[in-house]
Amino acid sequence: MSALRERKTDLSIIIPVYNLEKFIQPMLDSLKEQQTGNYNIEIIFVLNNCTDHSEDVIRASRLPCLIEYCTTQGCGPARNMGLDKCTGEYIWLMDGDDWLISETAIKDALDRIKRENLDILRIPFVSNIFRYNYFSMVWQYVIRYDFLDGLRFPDYQPAEDDAFMIQALAMDGYDRNTFINMPALDEPMYYYNYLREGSNMFRHMRGEKI
C-alpha cells in the first residue's frame, strides 16, 4: 500500500548509515550546499545498528532531514525502510560516504525529469579509482517512486543492489547491457568514494563475510 501513499515532495533522498562518523561529513556538506530552486526535497537517513557517533554528526550538521532506525543489518533493509517512509514523487538512493559534486545536482536532475516526464534518469559520476559504468550502482539513478510498483531490496548482501536494479531497469525496457543508453545528465554530478576502508565493498574485496 505504500506505493499508493500521497507523494508530498518532489524528491526523497534515502541514505543508509552504518558507522560513518568519520566519512559522512562531505555528503552532509554537499546536501547543505544544494540550490534546489522551487523543488521540495526530503532527506532520510536510516541508521543501521550504528555503534559510533554517526547520528551526532548528522544532527550537528543542522541539515533538515528525517532520521529513521533499522535494526535489520544491511543496506537492503535500510533502504527498504527509507522507501517505506518516504513521500517523494522521485527517489535517489545515495551512499553516505559519497557526495554530490555540483551545487545544482538535485535541481538539474529534477529539471530534466520533469521536462521529459522520465521514469528513470541516470546520473554520471566520477570516482577516486573506479572507472567503469556498472548497472547496479543504485546511486546513479533518480527513479519515479510509483514506477517501482512496490519493488524492494532483498535482505541478503552483497549483490542486493544487483537484484533490485535488474528488475527496476527491466520496467523501463533496459538491462545490465543497455542501461548506459538511458536518458542521463550531461555532466558528472556524483562522487563515488570507492573502496573506502571499512565499507561493504572494501570488506567484500578482502573476502570478508558481510
Residue type at 54 in one-letter notation = S
- Range(s) of the domain holding residue 23: 2-205
Answer whether residue 172 is part of any domain: yes
Instruction: Name the residue among 149, 150, 163, 158 with its Cα closest to residue 204.
Output: 158
Nearest to 92 by CA among 104, 114, 110: 110
Beta pairing, strands 41-48 & 9-17: parallel
pLDDT tens, residue by residue, 108-134: 999 999 999 999 999 999 998 888 889
In a domain, residue 210? The reply is no
User: How confident is the model at residue 129, as a pLDDT?
Assistant: 84
Q: How many other C-beta atoms lie within 10 A of the C-beta of residue 47?
A: 21
- Residue 137 within any structural domain of the chain: yes
In a domain, 155, yes or no: yes
State how far the alpha carbon of 209 is from the alpha carbons of 85, 196, 204, in Å: 29, 17, 7
**pLDDT (tens digit, 0 to 9) for every residue of the chain, 210 residues total?**
344 557 899 999 999 999 999 999 999 999 999 999 999 999 999 999 999 999 999 999 999 999 999 999 999 999 999 999 999 999 999 999 999 999 999 999 999 999 999 999 999 999 988 888 899 999 999 999 999 999 999 988 788 999 999 999 999 999 999 999 999 999 999 999 986 555 555 443 334 343
Return the CATH number at 180. 3.90.550.10
Kindly report, residue by residue over 75-94, the tens digit of the pLDDT. 999 999 999 999 999 999 99
120-122/88-93 β-pairing? unpaired
Question: What's the predicted TM-score (pTM) here?
Answer: 0.90
CB atoms within 10 A of CB 193: 18
Quote the CA–CA distance of 195 and 201 in Å, as a whole number: 6
pLDDT for the residue 134: 94
Closest CA to 73 of 116, 19, 14, 29: 19
What domain count does the chain have?
1
Which pLDDT score, from 0 to 100, does residue 157 have? 77
Residues facing 93 on adjacent strands = 14
